[in-house]
Structure 1
Amino acid sequence: MYRRVPGVVTIAEESTAWGGVTAPTDHGGLGFGLKWNMGWMHDSLQYMSKDPVHRKYHHHEMTFSMVYAYSENYILPISHDEVVHGKRALVSKMPGDWWQRRANHRAFLGYMWAHPGKQLLFMGQEFAQGGEFSEEHGPEWWLLDEDHCAAGDHRGVQDLVRDLNRIYRATPALWQCDTRPEGFRWVVVDAADDNVYAFLRHDAAGAPLLAVSNFSPVVREGYRLDVPVDVTAWCEVLNTDAARYGGSGVTNPGPLKPEDGHLRLTLPPLATVWLTPYPG
Structure 2
Amino acid sequence: MDRPDLPLNALRTFEVAVRQGSFTRAAIELRVTQAAVSHQIARLEELLGAKLLLRTPSGLVPTDEGVALYPVLEHGLDAISRVLDRVTGQQRIEVLKVGVVTTFALGWLIPRLPQFEKAHPEIDLRISTNNNRVEITREGLDMAIRFGEGNWAKVDAWPLIDAPMSVLCAPEIAAGLRHPGDLAHHTLLRSYRGDEWPRWFAEIGVPCPPVTGPVLDSSLAIAELASQALGIALLPLPMFAAQIEAGKLAQPFGSTVFAGRYYLTCPSDRVQNSAMIAFSNWIQSESTACPDTRS
TM-score range relative to shorter protein? under 0.3
Of Structure 1 and Structure 2, which has the larger fraction of its residues in helix? 2
- Using the size of structure 1 for normalisation, the TM-score is 0.25
Higher RCO (C-alpha 8 Å, min separation 6): 2
- Using the size of structure 2 for normalisation, the TM-score is 0.24
